[in-house]
Amino acid sequence: MEQPPDGHGGQDQPAVSDAPPRCYRHPDRETGIRCTRCDRPICPECMVSASVGFQCPNCVREGSGTGQPAAATRPRTLVGGSVTADPRLVTKLLVAINLVVFILIQVVGTRLADDLGLVGYAADGRGGLIGVADGEYYRLFTSVFTHEAFLHIGFNMLSLWMIGGPLEAALGRARYLTLYLVSGLAGSALTYLLASQYQLTVGASGAIFGLFGATVVLVRKLNYDMRPVVALLVINLIITFGWAGIAWQAHIGGLVAGTVIGVAMVYAPRAHRALLQYGASGLMLLVTVAIVVYRTAALT
């Protein structure tokens, strides 16, 4: 009998795995992107923009000839942000701020939530007026970090950690923080415009929905399986419109702003990337300001 050319007799060859490749620096993360120099799989956190495609941080360091990234070859995320040692630092700080405010509300009382939450224009119960239309514009911002119920903050902070962490790694700290804050303010502005002027609204949901929108854009750009993130977004939208007492205006405002900014962040051409990315963020902020000015004029 003729022996097979591989020299292993009639033994079966090991099966080839169909599992997606995993980042060689983070083995727990599946990815479809490879370093253009070493061809090893890398996740969004490890992607460094190169003249052609993306490189891993190790290849960038080797290319500088010093073992450390040179100024011209400093590791960048796929959208141009700086690669940092702790890619979740801003997310950790945002979670911490929300938790600190929540604890203070539990200690001081709900009066603090009333002072920080979003109110359009209402009587304060002492013969005076309160609300954004009365000049308390800070409420548009502070309400994004305010929660009263344990379930509310628990769900929001879990979503922030799960969605925000990977997104921060992909965008970089400055772009990620810009996305979060502008989305939160856009959610507050749409709530101010459409909700009752007497309604008290609190929560980080608008900002988190902005992260959802940007994540969908990023996943589409990387050609990842969109079904999990889209399914999660749909579930949250069903809850938004099917559960009484939820400010759907904040969710939709944040989602629209986050999606628009996400498109600019991910698809901006390299030559004018920063200008277009922050320009889109500034444009959304201007729209937010315009909504606030219009609503204030209508109420006063």
Final residue belonging to a domain, choices 49, 73, 97: 73
Do 122 and 198 reside in the same domain of the chain?
yes
H or E element that contains 75: none
End-to-end CA gap in the chain: 96
Beta bridge partners of 82: 76
Beta bridge partners of 173: none
Do 37 and 165 reside in the same domain of the chain?
no
At 47 the three-state DSSP class reads coil
Contact criterion met (CB below 8 Å) for 44 and 26: no
Alpha carbon 126 to chain centroid distance?
Answer: 40
Beta bridge partners of 55: 48
C-alpha to C-alpha distances, 93 to 89, 105, 209, 223, 237, nearest whole angstrom: 6, 18, 18, 30, 26
Token pair recorded at residue 93 = 């700080």
In the chain, the number of structural domains is 2
81 domain residue, yes or no: no
Final residue belonging to a domain, choices 12, 47, 73: 73
Do 51 and 132 reside in the same domain of the chain?
no
Final residue belonging to a domain, choices 46, 73, 100: 73
How many helices (H) and strands (E) in the chain?
11, 6
Domain that holds residue 51: 33-73
pLDDT in single tens digits along all 300 residues of the chain: 444 444 444 444 444 455 678 889 888 887 877 887 888 888 877 877 665 567 788 887 776 554 554 444 466 777 888 878 788 999 999 999 999 999 999 999 989 999 999 999 998 877 788 999 999 999 999 999 999 999 999 999 999 999 999 999 999 999 999 999 999 999 999 999 999 999 999 999 999 999 999 999 999 998 888 888 889 889 989 988 888 788 999 999 999 999 999 999 999 998 889 999 999 999 999 999 999 999 999 998
Q: What pLDDT, on a 0 to 100 scale, did the predictor assign at position 65? A: 52
Do 192 and 142 reside in the same domain of the chain?
yes
Q: What pLDDT, on a 0 to 100 scale, did the predictor assign at position 59? A: 82
Q: What pLDDT, on a 0 to 100 scale, did the predictor assign at position 18? A: 58
Do 69 and 138 reside in the same domain of the chain?
no
Do 260 and 204 reside in the same domain of the chain?
yes
- Closest to 23 measured CA to CA, from 36, 32, 15, 12: 32
At 34 the three-state DSSP class reads strand
222 domain residue, yes or no: yes
H or E element that contains 69: none
CATH (domain of 211): 1.20.1540.10
Cα gap 75→200, rounded to integer Å: 44
C-alpha to C-alpha distances, 256 to 35, 130, 187, 190, nearest whole angstrom: 33, 28, 9, 11
Do 48 and 168 reside in the same domain of the chain?
no
Do 53 and 137 reside in the same domain of the chain?
no
Q: How many CA atoms lie within 13 A of 213 on its CB side?
A: 28
The whole-model pTM stands at: 0.78
Q: What pLDDT, on a 0 to 100 scale, did the predictor assign at position 64? A: 55
155 domain residue, yes or no: yes
226 domain residue, yes or no: yes
Active site positions, annotated: 205, 251
Do 114 and 236 reside in the same domain of the chain?
yes
Do 261 and 206 reside in the same domain of the chain?
yes
7 domain residue, yes or no: no
Do 264 and 171 reside in the same domain of the chain?
yes
Do 113 and 234 reside in the same domain of the chain?
yes
- Closest to 49 measured CA to CA, from 69, 67, 31, 25: 69
Token pair recorded at residue 107 = 């200690």
Q: What is the Rg, in whole angstroms, of the alpha carbon atoms belonging to the chain?
A: 24
